[in-house]
Structure formats: structure tokens, C-alpha cells
Structure 1
């Protein structure tokens, strides 16, 4: 076999093994070391079994990941999200927004969607957002006689918004993988994120207005006698502190006042201050937040180590060049290439997490972008939109399974699937709008930072 054929065998073996359920990070490292041993084998220079350059490559890749300045922000942002989650700040936020939006159609769904958006922005972990909001808001909506599918869709779709809206951890990982400035990525994702959240809100209010049975308005007794002054006070003590924390972190990054790592450290400190201010910080909650942060950060870092080792060996064997030559020989137009790339990412989202797709498969497409004249920043924002569908598309919609795991027994999985389908339409609509009007993503980075 030629080296490029071995590279294709390496990629096929990797896909086969992960479909069997083996841990992806260790599969990547094992495949990289195994095939790398073959790729770098030099019998004339070998003095022992371990005298192979693949081991030097593995050590260097590990050190590069651990010293990467961009990735330093990941554990800090994770800690900010986990401490907000453990301190019961989201509970207070949802109750306040529910009262503030009580006169609007689908008020509880609006409150749940805005809470999901803020919390998803703070933590960036889809499973944590859907699970927590499923325990907090989903039973409340069912008790208020909301349609089960309608309520399910709100929780699942809202919980996925943190993939796109800055400060998104996914965008940090994409920046480290692609070499695109994380500051420009955050600026580029701002308007598309608000656009998608706005589409969700318009859908919720519009459907509740046209069909009040799926989201009944609360009675006067349920609304209670809450004055405007009390609502403002509740917002000042629950909504604005968390929103101010997120906007401060994001603003410091976008305006160049701090690096992403520095802003993330301020965000982590701000999360601790909020927990103390709400008298919700305990030693047990702090331990849980630190443990979850370390566990998730270790997963991301070892994925990077495995991925970079795997991709280095794959490239050395000529795999990337073989794929590039094959794609270029098809003589695709830019729009056709973009559709095919996004379709592949969409399908990969069924068996894989977003982190694995970004770290392992996106680098295969990146070298092809200059040939088709596609901006890597634009490509990253499209991927961030696309990856939300992987959590919402049956039959492998992980957000639906997260919600089903904590939902009341009478809630069927088919009802949850039915609830998320309209949001898939809105995501694809947002992707189409972004391609037709790329200024949605590119205008702000160009105005603030230039080309």
C-alpha cells in the first residue's frame, strides 16, 4: 500500500472504532501513535523499540496544547458557567423573567428562552443548560398547561444557543484549530447569534398568539399583584447582574481591553462574586464547580492532543493532499463545496460531539477554503449554526435525550422530537440568510478590526 492509501485506511479505521463506542480522545492518540510508528519508522536509525520520532511528536503536541494561550480561556469560562449553575442564579433569573413577561403571549416560554440564552452563553455546555432548565422551567410550563411539544422545543433549542452566542467555548476551540482571531470570531458571531435568538422569540410569541391553547395566558390570580417598581427591582437583582457580567467579559474582549484569557478570569471571579452576593456559595458547590471544570477541560485538552497527533500523521502520510486533490478534481463551485461541507458536518453531528467535529474533521476542510474564496471566519460561524442542528435532529438529537432523561414519565420522546422540528427550520433559515447576506457576520469585524 502507498502512504496515501494507508492514510485513508487510518481515517476509515478511526471512524469505525469510534462508532463502536470507544473513547474518542484515546482512540485518536492510539491511532496516531500506531500509524505514526509506521509512518516514521526508520530501521537505519532505530536503536530500540521506542526510538521512533512519533513519540517526540506526541510529547511536542501535548506541550503545545497545554501552553496554548487561546485554550487557557476554556477552563476559566467553564468555571464561570458552572459556578453560576451551582449557585442557583438561574432559578432566580427564570422566576423574575416569568413575572416581567407575564403580559406577553407565551410569557413563560419567553422567560425560559431568554434564561436559556443567558445561561447557555455563560456556560457553553448544552447538556448542562438543557438539564437544568428541564428541571426548572419545563415542569413549570407543563403545570401552566403548556403544550408538551411546544415547551420541549423551547428548552432544547434555547439550550443550544451557547454554541454560537459569544463568549462561546466552541468558537475558542475553532479559533485554536483554524488560526482565526478569537476576537474577530466573537465579533462575527454577535449578530448571527442575536438573529437566531430573535427568530426563536418571534416564533414563540407568534405561535402563542395565533394558538393560545398551546401556551395559555396566566389568570389574574396566577399573575398576582406585582407593581412595576417591584418588577424593576427584581430585574436589577437577578437579570442585570448576570447580563452585566457576560457583557463585561464580552466587551473587554471585543474592545481590546483584555485578552480572552484575561476576560475569562474576570468572568470567573465575577461568577464567584455573584454567588457570594446571593449567599449561595458553599464549599460543596465550589468543589463541584472546580471538579466539573477540570473534568471538561481535561477532555478538551486531550482531544486536542489526540487530534493534532492524528492529523500530523495523517498529513505526513499524504492524506490531506489526497483529499484536497480529490475535492479539487470535482471542479465544484463555492456554493456547492459549502453545501457539501456543511452537509458532512451536519451528518457527523449525529454520532459525534461538537468538540470532536471541530478538532478532528474541520481541519480537513480548512486548507480548501482559499481555493473556493471562502472566509474562514464566515465558515466558522456557519459551522456554529450548523452544529446546533446536531443536538436537535432526530433520531440522534442529544438535547432531546437530555430533556427526556429528567422529564416526567408521561412525556414521550416523539413529543420532544416534534417540538424541536420548527427550530431546525429556523436554523437552516439563519444559515441561508448568512450565506445570502454575509455582512451579517463580516460587517462588525471589518468595521472594528479591519480586514
Structure 2
């Protein structure tokens, strides 16, 4: 019944029904069937009110609407657009400079929004027409935009890492109880933020190195700049005016979390307020813009919490039908032990990334498998970053990657699907290489958190 429940949910989702309602509705239907045939104890559903109250009362999850608000303010107030223009002027004096400006601005936008769709759509609308007009290769341009957009999964402060931090903290405590260990240590969002910095910068470095190699091998695909801005005081001030505010904002938010000055929720509130200040200083905070920002924030936040409620109902019914014991037996008897179990989980998460967003996977799949993997001895910070990078790769892989659909939706007249697919393949290979490096050298993830938190 537990396996049938999981398969049914996936099938219904593929038919296009809303995720949150599918998770809750199918789970309750199976609970009724299980009660009727004697395989489910309906009294377990009595735990739902406490679970739902815990979700709404979770202080860590309160960071989600604040981080969303911060990102949407920077997007709607055209701060990101001004930054892209300034970076294009700065890097435009070099062959292929526009691509490097896309990487840099995309990284900052990914760090501020943390939402793959928002970053890909924004970068696609702002930069792709300019890249094509200047003569850049269409396939490579599409791949660069999609790959940069998915950096929002691991570049902190990331909403994906905030959600993963909450889920993995609960999973770690559950794993400790199963092992008979009673330790006050837990997994914090700050741990994941610190663990994601080195992999995120390493991946961005791979993108830049690959671009430099292409410029050397195929210079015709990267035209020389036609107009070079003179370096004078006005130029420098314009660059600094566009660059410093978002950099300071991200440093304040991320630094306050990493060094324990503020909790993720407190830092997110600083970020939200700082984004408003930046927008006001640039005279971009009109009433109409603020209304759009608030509506977008409410929509994203409502989606996150509704999915979390549906996932809680699903996980409760799944456990009541014996699904947790089934997974535990499967992992215990898996050839290769913890390595085989980890590979299986990563493969399943990668495939599910084609049909589910990171929010559903974080709330549905991770709570089922993480406690067992952590009880087998995996480091929770390493596991969290591996899941984030894995999902990032899944969102970029043809033909079902979400990032490809987002870009295709806003560039139908400029690019074909074949060009987008061809352009992202090298970046998919680089992300798979990163996963391999993180598997071989876990210290790439765990070193910085150990240095900061000891």
C-alpha cells in the first residue's frame, strides 16, 4: 500500500493536478482505503493538528517569506537590470565579456532570490536578446543563462537550503534517537549556508574556465566589443553605485547568519528591509511596484506552506502504511551498504526532479530517506549540499529540466528547444563533475562549517 501510494501520487502529479492538494488528497484516500481493509489505523491522523501547528509556528520557516520578499524587491525594482547593464559595461571591453557579466549578475540574483524560475526568467528577458544581438552563439547563451539560474539552489542565502535545513534538522534528531544518541547538536541553516559556499564558487569557477577555453578554441562565437566605455570617474561611480548595494546586502544577510550574529529569520528581515532601502535609494519603489512585490511574496509563501501541509499529511499516512519500515529494510539490504543506499537516493531524487519542484522533494522525499541515511553514518551537512546540487543538475538536464521550460517560455521566438538542450549539456556535465568531486572529497563541503562553528 505504501509503494502504491507513492506511485499514485507521482502519476497524479504528472497529470497536472496541484501538488499540495494531490499530496493531501491521495494520502487521505489511501488512509480511508487502508482503514477499510485493516492496514491503517485512522487514529494516527489525530497527530495532524499538532503537526500543522508546528509548521505554522516554525520560526525557521518564517525566513521563507522574508527571503522571497527581498528577492522580488530586487527583481521588480530593476536593481538586477541596472546591475547587469553596469557589469556589461565593465566586462564589455573583453572578448566574451557579456557572458561573464551574466555569470556574475546571475550569481548575485540567484543568491538574492533563491528561486530557479525567477532567476532564469529574469536573466532570459534581460540578457538573451542582447547576447544574440551582439552575435553570441545562441546555444551557449541559453546554456549559460539556464546554468546560472540554477545556482539559486546552492548559492546562499538560498530558500532551498533554508527548507533543507529545517527538514534535515528534524531528520538528524530522529536518526540520533534511532541510534540511541542524545546530543544537543543539530543541523542549522547556517551550517548548510557555510557548506554551500565552496561548492557554489567552485561551480561558478568551472563555468568561467569552460567559457575561457571556448573563447580560445572558438573566438568567432564570442565577438569582440564594438563600443568600449572610457574608464573615468563617472564610469567608476556608476559601476560602484550598481554593485555595492546588493553586495553589501548579501554580505550582511549571509555574514550575520554564518557568524551567529542573527538567526536566519532575523537576517532575512534585515535583507527584506535592506532591499526596500536599496529600491528607495534608486527611486524604484513606487506603490505599483510594492503591490506587485507583496502579491508575488504572498503567492510563493502560500505555495510553500500549502505544499508543506500536504506533504505532512502524505508522510503521516505513508508511515502509517508501513512505508518507513519498508525503506529502512530496503536500505539495510542494499548491496554496497551506505554507498549503495546513497547512490539509490541520489538517483531517485534526480529523476523526481524532472516532475517535482525542489519544495515537494524537500518536504516529501527527504524526510523519508534522510533519517535512515544519517543513521547509517552520513554527515548531514554533506548530505544536504549533495541533495541541493543533485536537484540543481536535475533542473538543468534535458528534456524535462524545469530551467529549460522557464527559458523556453520567455524566449519562444528567439531560440528553439534543440538549441537550449544543446547549450545546457556541457553545464550538466560540469555539475555532474562537481557531484563526483564532492563525493570523493567531502571536505569541500564540511571544511568551512568546521572552521566557522568548530
Using the size of structure 1 for normalisation, the TM-score is 0.92
Deviation at 1:372, TM superposition (A): 3.5
1:339 matched to 2:343? The reply is: yes
Paired with 1:299 and 1:408, the residues of 2 have a C-alpha distance of: 27
Whole-Å separation in 1 of the counterparts to 2:45 and 2:291: 36
**1:403 is aligned to 2:410:** no
1:416 equivalent in structure 2: 420
Match of 1:350? 354
Query: Displacement of 1:175 after TM fit?
Result: 1.2
Tell me how far apart the structure 1 counterparts of residues 286 and 405 of structure 2 sit (CA, whole Å): 31
Deviation at 1:54, TM superposition (A): 5.4
Aligned residues: 435
Aligned match for 2:195, one of 176, 188, 191: 188
How far did residue 338 of structure 1 move?
A: 2.1
Deviations 1:70-98 (A, max 9, x none): 10000000000001000001111011111
* 2:68 is equivalent to residue 78 of structure 1: yes
Shift of 1:340: 1.9
Consecutive aligned runs of 4 or more in structure 1 exceeding 6 Å deviation:
40-43
| Residue of structure 2 in register with 1:23 after alignment | 18
Aligned to 1:90, which of 80, 83, 91? 80
Q: 1:230-379 alignment to 2 at 5 Å?
A: 230-379=234-383
Residue 38 to residue 409, structure 1, CA distance change in 2 (3 Å): closer
Q: Contact between 2:327 and 2:369, CA under 8 Å: does it hold in 1?
A: no
Quote how far apart the aligned CAs of 1:183 are. 1.1
- For residues 334-375 of structure 1, give each alpha carbon's deviation from its aligned partner in whole angstroms, at most 9, with x where no partner exists: 333222221111111111111111111122221221353211
Q: Distance in 2 between matches of 1:148 and 1:218?
A: 17
Asked if 1:200 corresponds to 2:210, the answer is no
SS at match of 2:270: helix
Determine the C-alpha separation between the residues in 2 that align with 1:441 and 1:238: 31
Contact 1:106–1:209, Cα closer than 8 Å, also in 2: no
- Residues 1:434 and 1:231: Cα distance change in structure 2 (over 3 Å): farther
Task: Check the 8 A contact 2:83/2:242 in 1, yes or no.
Answer: yes
Shift of 1:131: 1.0
Structure 1 residues 11 and 410: CA distance shift in structure 2, 3 A? closer
Residue deviations 1:145-204 (CA, integer Å, cap 9, x gap): 001011111111111101101101001111121212111111111111111111111112
CA distance in 2: counterparts of 1:98 and 1:442, whole angstroms: 35
CA distance in 2: counterparts of 1:384 and 1:424, whole angstroms: 14
Shift of 1:407: 1.6
- Does the CA contact (< 8 Å) of 2:331 and 2:337 recur in 1? no
Q: 2:110 aligns with which of 104, 120, 133?
A: 120
Q: After alignment, is 347-356 or 404-413 more displaced?
A: 404-413
Residue 100 (structure 2) aligns with: 110
Q: TM (normalized to structure 2)?
A: 0.92
**Cα gap change, 1:230/1:207 in structure 2, threshold over 3 Å: closer, same or farther?**
farther
1:90-132 CA-to-partner distances (Å, cap 9, x unmatched) read 1110111111112333100100111111011100111111111
Give 5+ residue unaligned stretches, structure 1.
1-5, 47-51
Equivalent residues in 2 for 1:421-436, closer than 5 Å: 421-436=425-440
* Distance (Å, rounded) in 1 between the aligned partners of 2:160 and 2:412: 31
Asked if the contact 1:36–1:54 (Cα under 8 Å) also holds between the matched residues in 2, the reply is: no
| Gapped regions of structure 2 (runs ≥ 5) | 170-186
1:49 is matched with: none
Alignment root-mean-square deviation, CA: 1.9
Q: 1:15 to 1:223 in 2, by over 3 A?
A: same
Does the residue aligned with 2:207 lie in a helix, a strand or coil? Answer: helix
1:381 equivalent in alignment to 2:379? no
Whether contact under 8 Å (2:20, 2:307) holds in the other structure is yes
